[in-house]
Structure 1
Amino acid sequence: MNAVIPQPRQATRTAATAGPRTTGAWRVHSADTRLMDLTATVHALLAPHLGDRLQPLGASPDPDAATLTLALDDAAAPGFPAPVGIAPTGEAEPVDESYRLTVGPQGIACRAATPAGAFRAAATALHLLGTSGDHIPCQELVDAPHFAWRGLLVDPARGYLTPGELRTLIDLAALYKLNVLHLHLTDNEGWRLEIPGVPELTAPAPDGTPRAFYTTGDYRELQAYAAERFVTLVPEIDLPGHCATLREALPGLPPAPAPEGLTGRFPFVPPLDLADPATAKAVATILDDVCRLTDGPFVHIGGDEAVGATEGSFVRSIRELRSLVRGFGKRPLGWQESSRAGIGPEDIAQFWVDVPMMDLPDTAEELAARPELLAAGQTVEFIAALKAFFAPTDRDLARILDGGGRVLLSPQSHLYLDRAYAPQVVPTGQASTAARLGFPTYRPLGVEHAARWDPASHGIPDDRVAGVEATVFAESVTSLDDVTTLLLPRLPSVAAAAWTGRAPDWDDHRTRLAHHGRLWEQRGLAYLASTEIAWAGATDAPSTP
């Protein structure tokens, strides 16, 4: 077998003889001048895995080196149906990412009708090189994605990641054929993007401490780096709630009108009131700059958990945020709650929660059986209030579909990868790390749980699905290692479902995953060596190289 993830649609053994050696010298080559930049990108992606066995670009060919060849060839396109969903690059029709990969005695040929397809083939070649033992069997793989939008949300607002660390995550996304990196750039804990028109947002703290943020130059460079890997960056400016850092930077902005009886009962940051002229002006300046700095067609406006705003205030805010983004030349999307401000065929709403999905107890007896909730200080009264606040989420999905909108699937139940790992799947050496990671009120679960998610389980017609997006929010993280430990080994299963349109077969998938630990180690990525997986080459694989 091969250990490629996602599993290709077609895999055919083409000869009984052994193919090229994985342990010898390799070079990356294309005779097509249109692929020169892509050749350099593929070379960089392979470098951590091949080291000095990878010939420098432009060097005299080693006659003993195997070759990874990139080629554009319309005849190589397999002719599968076009992917469903929204193209993150904004085209009316998603780019053709299909490819045909052939392993022969002298190397690997990656052929596709587009550079994007050739790059997806190269990612598959990397999996073969890293997981096939001493020789790669001669074979042909033919593949294409099911969903056009395949994303990963990361949260530098709460857990800052340097530009270099974001590049590491872009490479990880590309390794598993994801094509969107959604940046949650603002929240109560931090504001991470320089806004030239509102410099107060990233000015030093009152005590003079510099704030961590991305300059406009950083942001442009990250977008260029991602684009080279056929990944689109989608920035999120989360409003009108989650706005503590904006309020700190611009003191005096009035709170949104609050529902009767809520004020003072529970702690929350008052959402913004976009009916206030000063607030509306500041938000317009922010979104103008964000839209101007963003190369891609989408800007995420947030719209979730606006605790403390009346329905009328929330609706007005969402409509104003959408209008501003459209006026500045971008396409808005928001969390599912934004559908309550009205939704039409041009709108995308990111579905993340309903009350059953929250998996919360109803009684004191049920709460007593949930140690993670007790440790987080939850009470029956607070949980009842939480359920009441989230009760409208039970209608959001139907509201989106009834209005003609498109659904970006990010269900908390399976695709929120900031969920703690179940203790029974954590190896002894990683128990202390696993115990501090994960959102404290989610029930801890294993890798198999995430891998069994089926996009079709929500009953949404394919033509109404915008795409699939995993999330890793950062309430518990302090480093890149923490982020990748939450992501790995769960992210590849989400990527598999997004690429193929269905849940991977668990027994087959964990057999494939068993060979990917070495890929992560070669890239310097920490991961959770779940006991659900018989890691290749070790009984208790290390979490770091």
Structure 2
Amino acid sequence: MDVVIPGPANRTAAATGEALGLAGPWRVATTDHRLTAVAGTVRALLAPHLGDRLLPPDTTGTTATTLELVLDAASSAPHRAPVGISPRGTAEPGDESYRITVDEHGVRCRSTTPEGVFRAATTALQTLAAATGPVPRGELTDAPHYAWRGLMVDPARGFLTPAELRRVVDLAALYKLNVLHLHLTDNEGWRLPLPAAAATGGPDAAARQYYIPDDYRALQAYAAERFVTVVPEIDLPGHCAALREAVPGLPAAPAPEGLKGRFPYVPPLDLADPDTRSLVASVLTEVCELTDGPFVHVGGDEAVGMTADSFALAVRELRALVRAAGKHPLAWQEASRAGMTANDIAQFWVDVPMMDLPDTQEELDRRPELLAAGYTPELVRALKRFFAPTDDDLARILDGGGRVLLSPQSHLYLDRRYAPDIVPPGQAEDAARLGFATYRPRGVRHTAAWDPAAYGIPEERIAGIAATVFGESIQGLDDLTTLLLPRLPSVAHTAWTGRAPDWDAHRDRVARHGRLWEDRGLSYLASTEIPWA
């Protein structure tokens, strides 16, 4: 099982015995009614890879290799409590540890919980999809390091249909991620019909550019079958142009002295205004009622053009509204400036050094991506001034007793363009089009080198890990997965194991996964850093 990502922690090879052939036919089997639904989900995930080699569930009298699912407290892997917050909101994260046994008859996946059995099954699935020969007999055990392992996608800017979101859920689950964070609102779009906001197209689901409640409920149910929790984001008080278009006349938040009119921006909402607060309350209450999981993200980032006092009031109101509706609020790191408590989680994404901005005209001249975007020394200085408070946000979170969800732009923003020198010629046009224009382009190895220990955060204060993909350049699922793959597996490895992968071993594993993605019809960047099999 040397093709699996994240790489399992412990493996023991059997001293003797015949290796497991992969030719099949295969059946997914369980004798435990508590795993019936899991078995059905595993079969659905296996189908693109095994095709006709996967027997229907009711097949009898046919000799087959078996992928067996077992709930077995006595023989599961030793359970260690993972670091961070359970995305399902339980006081203690569930047991995802598992044990896999391989012999000539098949693969047995064992755990104390259905979730752990499912994680084991994704390990087996990767092996069946990516291995190129017989699998040696033996046993492996594994368990996650971080409890929250997430992926954020951005249908507000780059709309994804419900069917496409289900395919994203499948991809996340295959790499043992357990949170899908949906950035549902922004200046460019409002993807829930609340309140009659930014909805375009007719009643036909293929034409709609928003999700009706039934879409959202169905996506959550689909994700739950794969042990993925959906976290919706309603990004306020800034990033609100779509809401302003839908509900004209909302007053602007008080602006800082001298800023009004100097730079183009959408005025943030004023949560001190009773009508605005009532509107936002209705939005958040309905989103909370529609959401099965315990968390709702309230945004709080880049609120350009409002005073510090107005911003702090807005964040406190947003948090209070979510709590009043029975959910736990989550926000971007800027929300720490409104105060933090032990009950608050802030998503850390940026500081000024991480922005990698030039200090001189000469340095700017060596950054073609910034020059092409119209950057000038004046604009760079203005950006550094605006983002200067981010240098202290992490300390604010920790000093206030809060938890940190790690999503640093430097490595985990997978909307970063690929470095041209690692792009194969046939994909140069797409690579030049995809990704946020002003980030320095990087290779796959750069993402894989990320170390969550680099920030000096005590482990007990880390809520989890989350990759993000904002959608400014995305025009559909193919664009999204080209940005995600082959970078996402390294983030998944680090989130599961707690450390960056060994690059040489990781790139060899990734090389086998191109076939897995092709089986699933997923586009990817065939980086020249990877020795594709």
Normalising to structure 1: TM-score of the pair? Answer: 0.96
For 1:423-442, what aligned pairs fall within 5 Å after superposition? 423-442=420-439
Which residue of the other structure, out of 347, 350, 366, is the alignment partner of 2:363? 366
Aligned residue in 2 for 1:284: 281
Which letter does structure 1 place at the counterpart of 2:26? W
Aligned residue in 2 for 1:189: 188
**Separation in 1, partners of 2:285, 2:273:** 18
Aligned residue in 2 for 1:11: 11
Measured after TM superposition, the shift of residue 520 of structure 1 is 0.4
**Separation in 2, partners of 1:404, 1:464:** 8
Measured after TM superposition, the shift of residue 18 of structure 1 is 3.9
Deviates more, 1:230-239 or 1:135-144: 135-144
Aligned residue in 1 for 2:267: 270
For 1:86-125, what aligned pairs fall within 5 Å after superposition? 86-125=85-124
For 1:19-34, what aligned pairs fall within 5 Å after superposition? 19-34=19-34
**Separation in 2, partners of 1:38, 1:56:** 15
2:313–2:338 contact (8 Å) kept in structure 1:
yes
1:19–1:106 contact (8 Å) kept in structure 2:
no
Q: Deviations over 1:289-336 (max 9, x none)?
A: 000000000000000000001001000000000000000000001000
Aligned residue in 1 for 2:41: 41
For 1:15-414, what aligned pairs fall within 5 Å after superposition? 15-63=15-63, 65-195=64-194, 198-202=195-199, 212-414=209-411
1:291–1:325 contact (8 Å) kept in structure 2:
yes
Measured after TM superposition, the shift of residue 134 of structure 1 is 3.1
Q: Deviations over 1:166-208 (max 9, x none)?
A: 000000000000000000000000001123xx22443669xxx
1:19–1:107 contact (8 Å) kept in structure 2:
no
Measured after TM superposition, the shift of residue 368 of structure 1 is 0.3
**Separation in 2, partners of 1:499, 1:468:** 9
Which letter does structure 1 place at the counterpart of 2:219? L
The unaligned stretches of length 5 or more in structure 2 are: none
Which letter does structure 1 place at the counterpart of 2:55? Q
Which letter does structure 2 place at the counterpart of 1:78? A
Shift in alpha-carbon separation, 1:204–1:68, aligned structure 2, 3 A: closer
Measured after TM superposition, the shift of residue 412 of structure 1 is 0.3
Shift in alpha-carbon separation, 1:200–1:455, aligned structure 2, 3 A: closer
Secondary structure in 2 matching 1:74:
coil
2:189–2:198 contact (8 Å) kept in structure 1:
no
Secondary structure in 2 matching 1:148:
coil
Q: Deviations over 1:190-228 (max 9, x none)?
A: 001123xx22443669xxx97510110000000000000
Aligned residue in 2 for 1:542: none
1:129–1:136 contact (8 Å) kept in structure 2:
no
Shift in alpha-carbon separation, 1:518–1:18, aligned structure 2, 3 A: farther
**Separation in 2, partners of 1:57, 1:15:** 33
The unaligned stretches of length 5 or more in structure 1 are: 537-545
For 1:428-467, what aligned pairs fall within 5 Å after superposition? 428-467=425-464
**Separation in 2, partners of 1:436, 1:350:** 28
1:270–1:309 contact (8 Å) kept in structure 2:
yes
The runs of at least 4 aligned residues of structure 1 exceeding 6 Å deviation read none
**Separation in 2, partners of 1:210, 1:57:** 36
Q: Deviations over 1:500-539 (max 9, x none)?
A: 0011111111111111100000000000010001001xxx
**Separation in 1, partners of 2:44, 2:200:** 35
**Separation in 2, partners of 1:373, 1:226:** 38
Aligned residue in 2 for 1:540: none
1:367–1:374 contact (8 Å) kept in structure 2:
yes
- Note if 1:517 corresponds to 2:514: yes
Which letter does structure 1 place at the counterpart of 2:427? Q
**Separation in 2, partners of 1:280, 1:120:** 42
Secondary structure in 2 matching 1:514:
helix
**Separation in 1, partners of 2:163, 2:201:** 22
Measured after TM superposition, the shift of residue 15 of structure 1 is 4.1
Measured after TM superposition, the shift of residue 138 of structure 1 is 1.1
Normalising to structure 2: TM-score of the pair? Answer: 0.98
**Separation in 1, partners of 2:38, 2:137:** 25
Secondary structure in 1 matching 2:138:
strand
Measured after TM superposition, the shift of residue 262 of structure 1 is 1.0
**Separation in 2, partners of 1:481, 1:31:** 39
Which residue of the other structure, out of 473, 482, 486, is the alignment partner of 1:485? 482
Measured after TM superposition, the shift of residue 266 of structure 1 is 1.1
Which letter does structure 1 place at the counterpart of 2:42? V
Q: Deviations over 1:73-124 (max 9, x none)?
A: 0012322421010000010000000000011110000000000000000000
Which letter does structure 2 place at the counterpart of 1:327? A
Which letter does structure 2 place at the counterpart of 1:36? T
Secondary structure in 1 matching 2:92:
coil
Secondary structure in 2 matching 1:12:
strand
**Separation in 2, partners of 1:434, 1:394:** 31
2:156–2:183 contact (8 Å) kept in structure 1:
yes
What's the RMSD between the two structures over aligned residues?
Answer: 1.3
Measured after TM superposition, the shift of residue 479 of structure 1 is 1.3
**Separation in 1, partners of 2:51, 2:480:** 25
Which letter does structure 1 place at the counterpart of 2:170? D
Aligned residue in 2 for 1:530: 527
**Separation in 2, partners of 1:388, 1:457:** 25
Q: Deviations over 1:331-351 (max 9, x none)?
A: 001000000000010000000
Secondary structure in 2 matching 1:494:
helix
Measured after TM superposition, the shift of residue 16 of structure 1 is 4.4
1:154–1:473 contact (8 Å) kept in structure 2:
yes
**Separation in 1, partners of 2:8, 2:61:** 31
Q: Deviations over 1:138-178 (max 9, x none)?
A: 12110000000000000000000000000000000000000
2:201–2:209 contact (8 Å) kept in structure 1:
no
Which letter does structure 1 place at the counterpart of 2:136? P
**Separation in 1, partners of 2:201, 2:5:** 44
2:151–2:466 contact (8 Å) kept in structure 1:
yes
Measured after TM superposition, the shift of residue 265 of structure 1 is 1.3
1:152–1:469 contact (8 Å) kept in structure 2:
yes
2:200–2:209 contact (8 Å) kept in structure 1:
no
2:190–2:197 contact (8 Å) kept in structure 1:
no
